[in-house]
Amino acid sequence: MDIKAYGKINLTLDVLYRRPDGYHQLRGVMCAVDVYDAVHMERSEGVSVIFDEEVPPQNTAIMAARAFFEKTGRGADIYIQKGIPSKAGMGGASADAAGVLRGMNRLYGGPLSESELYSIGLSIGADVPFCLMGGCAVAEGIGEVLTPLPAPELNLLIIKGNEGVSTGALFKELRLPIERRPDTDGAIAAIMRGDITGLIPLCENALEIPAIGLSPEIAQNKKRLQALGAHAFMTGSGAAVVGIFKTAEQAAEAQKSFRDLPFARVCSTGGFVI
């Protein structure tokens, strides 16, 4: 079984308040993008997960595989080739967990329901349910309350430098209320009426300025994209920056200016689903 575990971007991301449980109440629009980790798996009596790069021993993929095994008694030998950069705000770890859950379920003919997969996914990470669903959605709560939206087709260049941002460190330093906040309702309305031109300037991330405090490189990369004609914004908790261009050709031409960075990928949104 081979699975493309797609990453995501946040077209908008707002932080509303700190909840009594210590988490932050979020609201925004998520879209899957065609940047993915390739997940290969074969049936096995136990569970093993190997990556093509170094990852923490207790990673989300092994957590997902063990949870599936505990629930069903069915295992897999899994190999994951990383394509989504780490500490980028693109949901790479969540995509791995979602890819493992979706793949193992298909490998064995669907023993678990969608609600069971989502429940396991949420126990691993807040973005895993969206990565299981894919496409585009309004994400609320800690990111797990999802309302599907039509997926807008956007031409993107996503870049990331050498620095990453720790989500935990960012939220630990976060001070509310945040002054600059996105118009998520406006973005949703633009998506619903198919107004890409109206949507693009509304793509904004409330965590961007706090994240720049931890990684000034984010601001530099944003300015570089803007100088090439893109509407640019950070995704997730960073440190990847998304540039939206009018055409895929313009995005590809702009990509040539970022050969100095470890990650610069032309991609798109458009309803990608595991």
| Residue 127 annotated in active site | yes
User: Exposed/middle/buried for 111, CB within 10 Å: 0-12, 13-18, 19+?
Assistant: middle
37, 127, 160, 222: the catalytic one is 127
8, 87, 160, 222: the catalytic one is 8
| The pair of three-digit structure tokens given for residue 13, joined into one six-digit string | 């991301």
Please state, in angstroms and as integers, the Cα–Cα distance from residue 27 to each residue in 30, 36, 63, 188, 270, following that order: 10, 24, 27, 11, 21
In the chain, the amino acid numbered 217 is E
Spatial CB neighbours of 67, under 8 Å, sequence gap ≥ 6? 101, 120, 123, 124
Helix pair angle (114-124, 92-107), 10° resolution = 150
- For residue 205, the 8-state DSSP code is E
With CA atoms as reference, report the closest residue to 274 among 105, 60, 112, 115.
Answer: 105
Look at the block and give the residue holding tokens 């720790």. 166
Q: Hey, which residues are catalytic here?
A: 8, 127
